């Protein structure tokens, strides 16, 4: 977490406790607004209203807009435990379809929209850029890397370019939402798997053509 406005100096004698359960509400509201309006279009007031709080309450916990957004985006990054719980159905296709299931939900569409809405500020803010790579496409690509490597190891496919193939689904889906402004339906996701990724896996790319 980025530095809050915690009281450090005087060991206070009492007073109303800060209701920390509202942190999550405010951060969720921040992500909602970010997904809808982007960083520049988002105002602290929008966040406060959506969270049912006062602007002062937000500023009491995060000193600047940037700090608020940083903490909010950190919620997007999957924990290491997330990568441990990858599906294991026995076939690559089964694993991919299972792992894409949450990606066709609204929850994950918001994630992509947040990433898209932070591009402009990421250009000028090192911290935002850093937290974006961690919470954006990279974990998703890493998950695909694991699934593909596992399929190759168990002999389901021959040797392939794991790094290149692991990027196909995450990058294409991200671009579809962020740039083409189209939803990731289960049909589209499965279509990509069956028409692009799995066919590419089947033909090992040893021979080149001139």
Partner DNA sequence: CAATTACGATATCCACGAGTATCGGATCAG
Partner DNA sequence: CTGATCCGATACTCGTGGATATCGTAATTG
Question: Which of residues 42 and 53 has its CB atom nearest to a second copy in the complex?
Answer: 42
Burial class of residue 1 (count of CB atoms within 10 Å of its CB; 0-12, 13-18, 19+): exposed
Which residue in the set 24, 54, 83, 171 belongs to the binding site for a second copy (CB under 8 A)?
Answer: 171
* Cα separation, 150 vs 5, whole angstroms: 46
* Cα separation, 139 vs 122, whole angstroms: 18
Q: Check binding of 94 to a second copy (CB under 8 A).
A: yes
Token pair for 177: 């939402």
Neighbours of 117 (CB within 10 A): 23
* Cα separation, 102 vs 136, whole angstroms: 15
Q: Check binding of 174 to a second copy (CB under 8 A).
A: yes
Beta carbons of 77 and 83 less than 8 angstroms apart:
no
Q: Check binding of 89 to DNA (CB under 7 A).
A: no
Q: Cβ 8 to DNA, closest distance in Å?
A: 11
Q: Cβ 87 to a second copy, closest distance in Å?
A: 14
Q: Check binding of 57 to a second copy (CB under 8 A).
A: no
Which residue in the set 24, 43, 88, 158 belongs to the binding site for DNA (CB under 7 A)?
Answer: 43
The closest of 101, 193, 209, 210 to 151, measured between CA atoms, is 193
Q: Cβ 119 to DNA, closest distance in Å?
A: 17
Q: Check binding of 124 to DNA (CB under 7 A).
A: no
Q: Check binding of 22 to DNA (CB under 7 A).
A: yes
Q: Check binding of 14 to DNA (CB under 7 A).
A: yes
Which residue in the set 72, 136, 139, 184 belongs to the binding site for a second copy (CB under 8 A)?
Answer: 136
Token pair for 16: 């109303």
Q: Check binding of 12 to DNA (CB under 7 A).
A: yes
Q: Check binding of 79 to DNA (CB under 7 A).
A: no
Q: What is the DSSP letter of 197?
A: I
- What is the length of the chain? 210
Q: Which residues lie near DNA (CB under 7 A)?
A: 7, 10, 12-19, 22, 42-45, 52-57, 59-61, 63-66
């Amino acid at each position: 977490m980025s530095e809050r406005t915690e009281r450090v100096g005087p060991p206070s004698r009492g007073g109303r406790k800060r209701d920390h359960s509202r942190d999550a509400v405010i951060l969720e509201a921040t992500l909602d607004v970010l997904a809808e309006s982007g960083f520049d279009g988002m105002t602290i007031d929008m966040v406060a209203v959506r969270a049912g709080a006062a602007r002062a309450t937000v500023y009491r916990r995060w000193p600047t807009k940037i700090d608020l957004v940083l903490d909010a985006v950190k919620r997007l990054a999957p924990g290491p435990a997330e990568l441990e719980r990858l599906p294991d159905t026995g076939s690559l296709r089964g694993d991919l379809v299972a792992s894409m299931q949450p990606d066709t939900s609204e929850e994950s569409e918001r994630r992509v929209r947040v990433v898209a809405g932070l591009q402009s500020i990421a250009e000028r803010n090192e911290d935002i850029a850093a937290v974006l790579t961690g919470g954006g496409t990279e974990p998703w690509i890493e998950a695909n890397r694991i699934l593909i490597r596992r399929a190759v190891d168990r002999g389901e496919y021959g040797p392939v370019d794991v790094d290149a193939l692991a990027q196909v689904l995450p990058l294409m889906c991200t671009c579809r939402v962020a740039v083409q402004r189209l939803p990731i339906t289960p049909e589209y996701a499965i279509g990509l798997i069956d028409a692009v990724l799995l066919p590419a896996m089947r033909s090992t790319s040893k021979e080149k053509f001139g």
